[in-house]
Structure 1
Amino acid sequence: MVSQSSSVLAFDLGASSGRAIVGRLDSETGQVTIEEIHRFSNDPVKVGNHLHWDILRLFHEIKQGILQTKHLGYTDIESLAIDSWAVDFGLLAANGELLGNPYHYRDHQTDGVMEKVIDIVGREKLYAKTGLQFLQFNSIFQLYAIKERNPALLEQADTLLMIPDLLRYFLTEEKHSEYTNATTTQLLNATTQTWDSELLEKLALPGDLLLTPVLSGTRVGALTKEICEELDVAAIPVIAVGEHDTASAVVAVPALEEDFAFLSCGTWSLLGTETKEPVLSEQALAWNFTNEGGVYGTNRLLKNIMGLWLIQECKRTWDKEGKNSSFAELVKLAEKAMPFQSFIDPDDDMFLNPVHMPKQVQQYCRDTNQAIPQTEGEIIRCVMESLALKYRFILERTEQLSGKSFKGLHIVGGGIQNELLCQFTSNATQREVWAGPVEGSALGNLVVQWIALGYIANLREARKLIRNSFPVKTYIPEDRAGWQEAYVTFCQVASRLTVK
């Protein structure tokens, strides 16, 4: 499998932080080791009524990561790659300059836009074409919002680049669109795997902004002469990996079986399975599942779940109030709280971007005539139990849509550090949970680079390599009767689940 040792560099950007990680593939041990070189916050910036990504700060931090890699003695980096969250993009003018800071997916410019687009195209037709879950912040709705609100911006634009594409362009001065991220826009046809010209024409959106996507594993340039001189580094090749971080995370699922269910657990939770083809059935549309392109010809049938954002926002609110509990302390408080007192639907729109998340949790419970959680521990317990129960709900629907049966659930990503949530998930799903590795997206990024460089043969071999290199913790279901009763109550309380 491995003819020699190799070092590559992954930049993994999440909605709250980013990191630069060096991966080392050792020819003697046949294992991967990783070292975090640089970590930085990713803080959205509100200007007036709009929320933006600080894209130039992110580019600066990427350059700092390259610099730190050199300072730490990694002079043999063979390539680098970037993965990030989906849907958001930047617009370039004809001269290659950026036209403003990219909008954040939680910006309110898309409020009400999804309904307008559905009225024009039709819900069934839009799903049949793209196979994508309807979320108000999808790229198609962002682009249509700009067309309505600021058409002059689109008139000035020459190229649309998703966030990793844009940062790669800053590094290489080469413009490329990567396939897995392109599939999250709701503008790419799921069957033809090309931009849907009929859809673009119907919405009067400028299709000439969109570049033909390249497949994951494609070399897409090298560091520019200017960056090499600025940082005093070599012209490191840049590779387009599975640039949607979920695509990279699923690459890193250490599954030895062909059919498996995964949960990529972070700010967002994404639960689903790999399929050979998109699932575009009436039931998939009714349940609002998504089909996203994966690496090497795979399709990800999955559902977005609000995830740890709920806990992060509770903590942020309490920090502003001077309480300053750590995440670990909040989990301990939740562990001590009384179980099964109240539940929320984590995906209710009221939790998308509230001013005060704890009050929103309380309001949901009030509106559904449940006990209202009062303390930090009670609120966090309510959120965590609800997440675990929602995971069961989506896992069972994934089985029905895919025609597969899963004896357990693989969880990857930073969320596995919350061991109580992992145990709750095992309890709720009443199946084994296999948690690990933590750095799922970064590892998927790294191994696709090694496949592109010829060190690893294929995706199956990459997953075996990860399984042999990183620990996986197994959780066994507990209190089956109590969690079964809780699931029935949860489904009654979260009544909107029946129509999503």
Structure 2
Amino acid sequence: MKKETHVLAFDLGASSGRAMVGTLDKSVPEAAVLRLAEVHRFPNEPVQAGPHLYWDILRLLHELKQGFRKAAEGRAIESFGIDTWGVDYGLLGEDGELLGNPYHYRDARTDHTVEKVHAIIGKNELFQATGLQPLTFNTLMQLHAAVEQNSVALREAKELLFIPDLLLYLLTGVKQSEYTIASTSQLLKAGTQEWDKELLAKLGIPADILPPVVMSGQTVGELTEAIREELKLPPIRAVAVPEHDTGAAVVSVPVDTDEEVAYLISGTWSLFGTELAEPLLDPRVLPLGFSNEGGMGGTARTLKNIMGLWLIQECKRSWDQAGENHSFADLVVLADKAPAFRSFINPDDLLFLPPGGMPERIQEYCRRTGQPVPQSIGEITRTIYESLALQYRLVLERLEHLGGIRYPRLHMMGGGIQNKLLCQMTASAIGREVWAGPVEASSLGNVAAQLIALGEVADIREARSLIKRSYPVDTYEPQEQEAWEAAYRRFLDATEQSLIPEE
């Protein structure tokens, strides 16, 4: 029996990407461990071209090739998988060529599309059909905008591939739609692997461009001969991992029991939710802001998107452009020194969705809501972190209201948990324990799915036990409960939110 198995996970977020080698070490068979090594990191920056915002998909392909080269140095790579953000896609023509760079989900062409869709299909009807919130960037909205704008590319398209499937196609020639990434689109029937062709027909969206849906955890192809020759690589199998980064991250929740858990995946977006056997389509779900996306094994991830660390990323970008350069670690220190609980924002206010001018947007929000206007970098940063922690509490309470249970703790995962101040604020805001870890949740879930496909790990439960053993969590206990309770009441007032929102 071989003692080590190496697989390659590509984990692409909305601002950067990594190539990570996962190594299953079975030197001690009864205590196998999983190691993760970053071999390549690269920026993923959108490109503004005229009035539109695009992804530079060919640059991403180039970076994946560099990841293959580096990963293969001194080790035999058995397989690879790709996970990315959701909803965005590329279109292929009749000859299989890409018909243009994919649009970025923050592109303005979908402005007011939600209202136009609801004029054709009612809000409640759309939710019952798809299980997803009607968000402006959903694939459904993007495609309807393309129909409305008489898109030449959409008229000529023969196939639509979501970003991870598009990259997989460029490397393997395989055309597919993996379930977790497809489930972010609002094009599937809720809780199924079937495209909702009746819904698409009502909106004038061609259903014949959508490829077959495949479930994660299986081998689907291998690198093309041309790619192998270019990179001087042997055959490497391609695995359909949970291709939505959140779906991959949920695979790595470090539990080895069947307990129901609440998780928060902290990155550019904060994804807050739980994993269920079936989608939650209760009429209360829609006004509370939750969606139902697919998970590995056909589970439902009932979750809510929260604007997340996009707020601080955009602030840092503005400050850097102004010559006020601070690392993210510096910003945490400045926030920790700033006065507590002065001002709050609703992180999900659409004011904060577009890029650019984020510090000024936050100041404008506070001014508009009659609060003290944060001035210094530390004050603005603290406003963001406290508001995120308090928004997490509100979303947790809403999730518990829907499910009728109280979660004993919150599992925080993803790159955002390296911010210890935010983790502590979250524990204090929700008034219960936070287990933080693993940081590389999406990459570990990606690796775990590959190991399951290769037969090295039996199932998701064994994978989670392996991850828990390999990557112990950090624990944060609530502090200053009276102060945080008072802050929560002020936060709800300032942001005009409540446990049960008004229709």
Is TM > 0.5 for Structure 1 vs Structure 2?
A: yes
For structure 1, which segment, 490-499 or 457-466, has the greater mean C-alpha deviation from structure 2 after superposition?
490-499
- How many angstroms apart in 1 are the aligned matches of 2:409 and 2:333? 26
Q: Kindly provide the CA deviation profile for residues 395-418 of structure 1, in whole angstroms up to 9, marking residues without a partner as x.
A: 111112123321110011000110
Q: 1:32 aligns with which of 24, 34, 38?
A: 34
Contact persistence 2:177–2:211 (CA under 8 A): yes
2:14 match: secondary structure? coil
Aligned residue pairs: how many? 497
The residue that corresponds to 1:352 in the other structure is: 353
Deviation at 1:146, TM superposition (A): 1.1
Q: Tell me whether 1:450 sits opposite 2:451 in the alignment.
A: yes
- How many angstroms apart in 2 are the aligned matches of 1:407 and 1:295? 24
The residue that corresponds to 2:44 in the other structure is: 42
Q: Structure 2 unaligned segments of length 5 or more: list them.
A: none
Contact persistence 1:13–1:84 (CA under 8 A): yes
1:374 match: secondary structure? coil
- How many angstroms apart in 2 are the aligned matches of 1:257 and 1:23? 24
The residue that corresponds to 1:216 in the other structure is: 216
Deviation at 1:499, TM superposition (A): 4.2
Contact persistence 1:279–1:402 (CA under 8 A): no
Q: Tell me whether 1:465 sits opposite 2:466 in the alignment.
A: yes
**1:41-440 equivalences in 2 (<5 Å):** 41-71=43-73, 73-74=74-75, 76-258=76-258, 259-440=260-441
For structure 1, which segment, 256-265 or 82-91, has the greater mean C-alpha deviation from structure 2 after superposition?
256-265
Amino acid at match of 1:43: E
Q: Structure 1 unaligned segments of length 5 or more: list them.
A: none
Amino acid at match of 1:139: T
- How many angstroms apart in 2 are the aligned matches of 1:207 and 1:352? 29
The residue that corresponds to 1:484 in the other structure is: 485
Amino acid at match of 1:419: K
- How many angstroms apart in 1 are the aligned matches of 2:459 and 2:10? 22
- How many angstroms apart in 1 are the aligned matches of 2:502 and 2:151? 35
- How many angstroms apart in 2 are the aligned matches of 1:467 and 1:10? 19
TM-score by length of 1: 0.98
Amino acid at match of 2:274: T
- How many angstroms apart in 1 are the aligned matches of 2:374 and 2:455? 54
Per the alignment, do residues 354 and 36 of structure 1 end up closer, same or farther by CA in structure 2, a change over 3 Å counting? closer
Give percent identity, aligned residues only. 56
Deviation at 1:256, TM superposition (A): 2.9
The CA RMSD measured in Å over matched residues stands at 1.1
Deviation at 1:150, TM superposition (A): 3.5
Deviation at 1:4, TM superposition (A): 4.3
Contact persistence 2:55–2:103 (CA under 8 A): yes
Q: Kindly provide the CA deviation profile for residues 413-468 of structure 1, in whole angstroms up to 9, marking residues without a partner as x.
A: 00011000000000000010000111000000000000111111111111110000
Deviation at 1:18, TM superposition (A): 0.3
Contact persistence 1:134–1:288 (CA under 8 A): no
Amino acid at match of 2:476: Y
TM-score by length of 2: 0.97
1:272 match: secondary structure? strand
The residue that corresponds to 1:441 in the other structure is: 442
The residue that corresponds to 1:494 in the other structure is: 495
- How many angstroms apart in 2 are the aligned matches of 1:328 and 1:5? 35
Q: Kindly provide the CA deviation profile for residues 295-316 of structure 1, in whole angstroms up to 9, marking residues without a partner as x.
A: 0121100000000000000000
- How many angstroms apart in 1 are the aligned matches of 2:154 and 2:134? 23
Deviation at 1:152, TM superposition (A): 2.1
1:282 match: secondary structure? coil
